[in-house]
Amino acid sequence: MQPIDLDKEKKEILNKYRTLLRSCSDKTNKKDKKEIRSAFNFAMEAHKNIRRKSGEPYIYHPIAVAQIVAKELSLGKTSIICALLHDVVEDTDFTLDDIKRNFGKKVAKIIDGLTKIQDVFDKNVSLQAENFRKMLLTLSDDVRVILIKLSDRLDNMRTLDSLSKNKQLKIASETLYLYAPLAHRLGLYPLKTELEDLGLKFTKSEVYKAIAEKLQETKDERKKYITKFSKPIKLKLKENKINFKIQGRPKSIFSIRNKMITKGVDFDNVFDKFAVRIIVDSNLEDEKSDCWKIYSVVTDFYKPNPDRLRDWISTPKENGYESLHTTVMGDDGKWVEVQIRSKRMDDIAEKGYAAHWRYKQKNNKENSLDNWIEKIRELLENPESNAIDFIDDFKLNLYSGEIFVFTPAGDLKTLPKKATALDFAFDIHTDIGLKCMGIKVNGKLVSLSHQLNSGDQVEVITSKKQRPSKDWLRFVVTSRAKSKIKSALKQDKKKIAIVGKEIAERKLRHLKIKLNQKTETELIKHFETGDSLELYFRFGTAAISNTEIKHFANLKNRGWYHTIKNKIYGPGKFKIKEKSEKIIVFNETEDILDYKLASCCNPISGDAIFGFVTVTDGVKVHRFDCPNSIQLRSNYSYRILSGKWINKDDIDFMATINIRGIDSVGLINKVTQIISNHMNVNIKSININTEDGIFEGIITLKIHNVSFLKQLTKKLEKIEGISSISRTYKHQ
């Protein structure tokens, strides 16, 4: 091992620090530099004698993060100070109070957001997910936490070679799963591209290496081609006295790999590896018309592909990105992507949220990125979601494409691709979503699950009597809609549980049993409900039959004589309830699918689990903490199914009731009132026919068990005019 040259290291640290100061010289004054120096000295003292896995002094890392923050994100003094101090509380003996005392409340709050949660008591939750959620909580206060964290992650990825293979795989998978999409969402395209490429390098090293070598081999050829392609455009723009610059833009390795997979082609057949960017220097009033002038010049020389025009100038992306994209046919039959934008648009595209904020301050103009951050705040405020649910919901709003739809008044709304009519209703307002009874798209009535397309004009029909259904969770895609529906369903469940408790008290009193804390605990254990809310909800929905309650009472009332007698003669006629066989159901809709337990982690009943759809072997079930889980979630999130263990007895059934009788005014209303209001059942479909005074109805319901269906039938038979009710049922 080579001896450490401490003098050489000191010089290197000083050089890195001076480079950092040069990177922020245009954004800092003498006082700012003094404060940055103070933070640098504090970090030097805190991390002295600590080294990275590579053997380098640890201080190299905070300086590198501060350099990314200053140069690549153009952030100012506070962010640079926080970047220098970001690991102090987590990795040294200094506390948040020390930071607060020396650098103030704001810096301490940002450092707190950057400090990982050290321990989580619930072993079923993902520590990584909890840390990520904690970091995002600071969105409501200071987005700089996320910008510094992304810079921290980028430096970690750049220096990942020194770690073990397992560590590399874990960190790279997290990066691809969460951090690269987050950089994309905040408009940090250079960071996002580098994070993706490095993520691919450490998760699919052979693929990365093969594409990188191909790009290197074709580098000179591509450069010559772009120079030749650009020449006539440059001459024409100069003639028109347009102030511009034009540059070649290499496609990222990650995006080429994605194209190869999605299009099913090899490297040579990825058709738009050639790309140029034209940046026009014009003022705010003229930039849109100048971009279209340049588009006109480009298409004078080269034929555009009509399906590849993207106008993000008229309608910017939700992350603030503005640009005009077209793909044109160059010489030799090669497709070239051309991006046209103003200097301001380019600054926002390169520096993301930091630049967006700077221009917003100048123009005092709200941006859709602010709306997105508002939605994330709303998601974070939902007390019902655990960390992993939150991450899954959050991911929905990161990488999804966008569609643009209109309200009846002509207001433009941005929604993720595959958004449904019901997602639109929730995007307008929570109450409109919860009371949504129907939707008209372009004047025609459609189902709530109808997928919207760009350009649709959407009108929501509401009713005070409407309430959300669990079935809605099956098709909504926005996190806002999901969290609001879940919250409303829980409130409905609580209301039913209040009635259920009264039913339980009454039925137990009839059996000479008092409902107290002890009895409640025994009931939860006996019926395996897990908690009191689920117990009383089952009473409220008649899922627990009178026979089952009597059985519980008999077990409770047998006392010491029967206990001794059972030991001598064996149990009497009342058998202790056998534990129901547990099975796994998938997704919010609790689908019953064929599955196998993964041999890599061998999940058992009660483990937190998820399903993974394999290519050849159906659904494999893994534990949440399975060593392969992050890689599966990172690279194949679209093939992940949420899963949970349930008792076989608890599976809901689809039941069809055939009702016949004499037609009379209000008859169908009485039927639906009993089903919906008195029995708290979901009506899946209803079909009514009347002919010559005879009424016939076919109603499909979602019910819990056969005894429950018998009770419902008895209530319906009491309605005057109904002559017969027949039924069939099957698993959902």
Q: Tens digit of pLDDT for each residue in 248-295?
A: 877 788 888 888 887 777 777 776 677 899 999 988 888 999 999 999
The predicted model gives 231-244 an average pLDDT of: 91
Position 454 scores a pLDDT of 80
Cβ(45)–Cβ(99) below 8 Å: no
Position 125 scores a pLDDT of 45
pLDDT digits (tens, 9 = 90+) for 338-364: 999 999 888 888 776 556 555 554 554
* Local confidence band at 366 (pLDDT 50, 70, 90 cut-offs): very low
Cβ(133)–Cβ(385) below 8 Å: no
Q: Which long-range contacts (CB under 8 A, 24 or more apart) does 574-580 make?
A: 577/526, 577/551, 579/528, 580/528, 580/647, 580/648, 580/649, 580/650
pLDDT digits (tens, 9 = 90+) for 368-410: 555 555 555 555 555 444 544 555 555 555 545 677 788 888 7
Higher pLDDT: 153 or 361? It is 153
Annotated catalytic residue within 91, 213, 384, 649: 91
Cα 368 to Cα 187, 342, 382, 420: the distances in Å are 12, 19, 22, 20
Round to whole Å and give the CA distance between 185 and 397: 8
> Hey, CA dihedral for 518, 522, 528, 529, is it positive or negative?
negative
Instruction: Give CATH for domain 6-205.
Output: 1.10.3210.10
Q: Measuring CA to CA, which residue among 580, 581, 591, 606 is closest to residue 642?
A: 591
Locate CATH 3.10.20.30 in the chain: 400-477
- Considering the four listed CATH numbers 3.40.50.2300, 3.30.70.20, 3.30.460.10, 3.40.190.10, the one that applies to the domain covering 213-363 is 3.30.460.10
Locate CATH 1.10.3210.10 in the chain: 6-205
- Mean pLDDT for all residues in the chain: 78
Cα 107 to Cα 96, 110, 145: the distances in Å are 10, 5, 10
pLDDT digits (tens, 9 = 90+) for 301-320: 999 988 888 888 988 877 67
pTM for the full model? Answer: 0.57
Instruction: Give CATH for domain 400-477.
Output: 3.10.20.30
* Local confidence band at 126 (pLDDT 50, 70, 90 cut-offs): low
Q: Measuring CA to CA, which residue among 39, 61, 57, 38 is closest to residue 48?
A: 57
Higher pLDDT: 589 or 661? It is 661
Report the largest interatomic distance among the alpha carbons of the chain, rounded to a whole angstrom.
Answer: 107
Q: Measuring CA to CA, which residue among 606, 468, 444 is closest to residue 530?
A: 606
* Locus of tokens 């209001």: 677
Cβ(473)–Cβ(589) below 8 Å: yes
Query: Does the annotation count 91 as an active-site position?
Result: yes
Round to whole Å and give the CA distance between 480 and 487: 11
What percent helix, strand, coil does the chain show, rounded to 5?
55, 15, 30
* Local confidence band at 73 (pLDDT 50, 70, 90 cut-offs): confident
Round to whole Å and give the CA distance between 132 and 693: 64
pLDDT of residue 57 exceeding 60: yes
Annotated catalytic residue within 9, 12, 35, 90: 90
Instruction: Give CATH for domain 653-731.
Output: 3.30.70.260
* Local confidence band at 1 (pLDDT 50, 70, 90 cut-offs): very low
Locate CATH 3.30.70.260 in the chain: 653-731
pLDDT of residue 209 exceeding 50: yes
* Local confidence band at 171 (pLDDT 50, 70, 90 cut-offs): confident
Position 2 scores a pLDDT of 58
User: How long is the chain?
Assistant: 732
